[in-house]
C-alpha cells in the first residue's frame, strides 16, 4: 500500500464510530470536505488532541468528502444532520454553505471559508449570529497578492487565466478582488468557469487556445488535477491555498494551513464546552506562507527571481 493509501486507511479508521457502548462515551463531530481531506484531517486531529480530545476514545468523527464534486455536498451535509452529530466542521466555502442549508440547529465550524459575510454564512465577523462561526480564509485578498507574485515571476505576462468554480458561492468575491488587482497591474484576466460536471481537462483546452502566460486556480477546484495539467503544458500555476505547491503546482500563497486547521479544533472544543457559535467571532489568518516548488519551476523552464525566493517560507527542491 502506498503512502496515500495508508493515510486514507488511517483516516477511515479514525473517523469510523466505534461499536457498542464506546460509541456513546463522547461527542460526534461531522467533518465535511470538498475534496481530499488528508492535510486538513491530520492537523485537525492534532488540534483536538492538544485540547484533550482523543479520536476513537473520547470523541468520534464522521468524515464525509465530496471528492471534488460539489453537487454531492448537499446530500452529505443532510446525512450528517440526520446523524445528529454535535458539531459539523466544514472545510472550504461550498461545504460550509451545504452544512448551513442542511441544519439551523447543529453548530457549524468553518475550517475555513472565504468571505463568510459576503457569501451569507455569517451576519458579521464580530457577531456571526445563527449556528455558524469558525475561520475566514481571506482568500480573495490573498488572490490579489498572488497576482502580484505572478507579475514578479513573469514581468512580461499580459494574460492570466483564472479557473473559477461556478457553483461555489465564493466565486463572485474571489473574481472581484482579482479583477481589481489585475487592472492595477495591467494584466488581462481570462476567466474560465468550471461547472459542477465539467472536467478540468476542458478548461485547460480553452487555455491552450488563448495564449495564456499563467494560471490562477480557485481553491475549491480539484487542485491535484490542475497542478498536473498545468505542469504538462509548462504553465506557471498558482493557487491561494496551502498544499498546492506540494501537489506539483508552482507556488501557493495562503494563511498557514496548520494554524487554521488546528484553530478549527479550538472552535469545536469551545462549542462542546457550551459556547454559542452566534457569539464566537470569526477568526482570520495572521500568518501567511509562500511555498515554491523549484522542481516544478525547473520542469517548466522558469527561473525564480532571488527577490521571490528570499520571501519564501518553504522551498520544495
Residues 158 and 228 in one domain: yes
Same domain? For 306 and 165 the reply is yes
One domain for residues 276 and 302: no
What are the pLDDT digits (tens) for 67-88?
A: 988 999 999 999 999 999 999 9
Do 113 and 150 fall within a single domain?
no
Number of domains in the chain: 2
Are residue 72 and residue 37 in the same domain, yes or no? yes
Output the pLDDT for position 288: 86
Residues 109 and 165 in one domain: no
pLDDT tops 80 at residue 307: yes
pLDDT-based confidence at residue 22 (cuts at 50, 70, 90): very low
pLDDT digit string, tens, across residues 120-173: 999 999 999 999 999 998 766 787 788 999 999 999 888 999 999 999 999 998
- So what's the pLDDT on residue 285? 84
89 shares a domain with 15: yes
| pLDDT digit string, tens, across residues 254-297 | 887 778 888 999 999 999 999 999 999 999 888 889 999 999 99
- pTM for the whole thing? 0.83
Q: Look up the CATH number of the domain holding residue 294.
A: 3.40.50.2300
What is the CA angle 76-81-83, rounded to 5?
95
Query: So what's the pLDDT on residue 140?
Result: 66
Task: Tell me, yes or no, whether 157 and 200 share the same domain.
Answer: yes
Q: Check whether residue 187 and residue 149 sit in a common domain.
A: yes
Annotate the chain with DSSP letters as a single string.
Answer: --HHHHHHHHHHHHHSPPSGGGGGSS-EEEEEESS--HHHHHHHHHHHHHTT--BTTTBEEEEEE-TT-GGGHHHHHHHHHHHT-SEEEEESHHHHHHHHHH-SSS-EEEEEESSTTTTTS-S-SS---TTEEEEE--HHHHHHHHHHHHHHH-TT--EEEEEEETT-TTHHHHHHHHHHHHHHHT-EEEEEEE-TT--HHHHHHHHHHTT-SEEEE-TTS-HHHHHHHHHHTT-EEEESSTTTGGGT-SEEEEE-HHHHHHHHHHHHHHHHTT--GGGSPPB----EEEEEEHHHHHHTT-PPPHHHHHH-SEEE-
- Within this chain, do residues 131 and 8 fall inside the same structural domain, yes or no? yes
Same domain, 18 and 49: yes
Q: How confident is the model at residue 24 (pLDDT cuts 50, 70, 90)?
A: low
Q: What is the pLDDT of the chain when averaged over all its residues? A: 89
Provide the domain limits for residue 150. 139-255+289-316
From CA 99, how far away is CA 104, in angstroms rounded? 9
Same domain, 22 and 127: yes
Amino acid at each position: 500500500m502506498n503512502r496515500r493509501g495508508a493515510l486514507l486507511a488511517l483516516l477511515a479508521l479514525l473517523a469510523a464510530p466505534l461499536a457498542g457502548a464506546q460509541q456513546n462515551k463522547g461527542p460526534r463531530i461531522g467533518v465535511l470536505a470538498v475534496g481530499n481531506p488528508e492535510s486538513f484531517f491530520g492537523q485537525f486531529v492534532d488540534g483536538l488532541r492538544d485540547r484533550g480530545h482523543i479520536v476513537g476514545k473520547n470523541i468520534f468523527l464522521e468524515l464525509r468528502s465530496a471528492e471534488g464534486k460539489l453537487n454531492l455536498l448537499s446530500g452529505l451535509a443532510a446525512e450528517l444532520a440526520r446523524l445528529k452529530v454535535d458539531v459539523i466542521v466544514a472545510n472550504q466555502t461550498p461545504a460550509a454553505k451545504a452544512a448551513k442549508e442542511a441544519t439551523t440547529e447543529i453548530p457549524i465550524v468553518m475550517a475555513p471559508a472565504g468571505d463568510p459575510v459576503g457569501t451569507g454564512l455569517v451576519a458579521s465577523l464580530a457577531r456571526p449570529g445563527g449556528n455558524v462561526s469558525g475561520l475566514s480564509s481571506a482568500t480573495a485578498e490573498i488572490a490579489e497578492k498572488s497576482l502580484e507574485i505572478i507579475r514578479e515571476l513573469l514581468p512580461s505576462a499580459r494574460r492570466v487565466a483564472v479557473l473559477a468554480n461556478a457553483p461555489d458561492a465564493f466565486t463572485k468575491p474571489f473574481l472581484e478582488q482579482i479583477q481589481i488587482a489585475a487592472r492595477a497591474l495591467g494584466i488581462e484576466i481570462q476567466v474560465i468557469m468550471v461547472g459542477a460536471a465539467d472536467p478540468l481537462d476542458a478548461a485547460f483546452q480553452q487555455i491552450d487556445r488563448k495564449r495564456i502566460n499563467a494560471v490562477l486556480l480557485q481553491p475549491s477546484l480539484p487542485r491535484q488535477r490542475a497542478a498536473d495539467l498545468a505542469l504538462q503544458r509548462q504553465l506557471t500555476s498558482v493557487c491561494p491555498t496551502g498544499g498546492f505547491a506540494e501537489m506539483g503546482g508552482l507556488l501557493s500563497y495562503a494563511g498557514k494551513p496548520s494554524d487554521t486547521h488546528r484553530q478549527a479544533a479550538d472552535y469545536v472544543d469551545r462549542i462542546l464546552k457550551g459556547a454559542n457559535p452566534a457569539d464566537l467571532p470569526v477568526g482570520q489568518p495572521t500568518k501567511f506562507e509562500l511555498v515554491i516548488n523549484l522542481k516544478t519551476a525547473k520542469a517548466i523552464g522558469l527561473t525564480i527571481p532571488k527577490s521571490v525566493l528570499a520571501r519564501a517560507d518553504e522551498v520544495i527542491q
